[in-house]
Amino acid sequence: MPTLWGVLALAAPIILANASTLPIGFVDAAIIGLFGDATLIGGVAVGAAIYRAIDCYIAFCTSARRAALRRPIATGCISLTSLVQFHELDQLVTGTAYKPTSAGR
């Protein structure tokens, strides 16, 4: 049974990451406000909204992916070995696998 402090220890980094986006917006608006043009501040607002939407989408996708994999791993339907092999295969197919370079030759 998870304890309150255990849950808070896991949630604290996520809470801090989400809370940090608001002060960044304030700093951006303050710096751009020095130029005195209202369209620049509007651009910062639009950019911040787009950034926040992309950030929330990525956070949702990673949370959903973890939740979708957690149950099969816990019940033993998927072993961690097969999961690592799938991840390596996924990297090879998408071309994101680590490829050592021939530096120094």
**pLDDT tens track for 65-80:** 777 767 666 776 666 6
What pTM was estimated for this model as a whole?
Answer: 0.50
**pLDDT tens track for 26-38:** 888 889 889 888 8
| CA-based max dimension of the chain | 61
Question: What's the CA gap between 91 and 105, in Å, rounded?
Answer: 27
For residues 28 and 48, the answer to whether their CB atoms sit within 8 Å is yes
Q: What is the DSSP string of 7-38?
A: HHHHHHHHHHHHHTHHHHHHHHHHHHHTT--H
**pLDDT tens track for 77-91:** 666 666 666 666 666
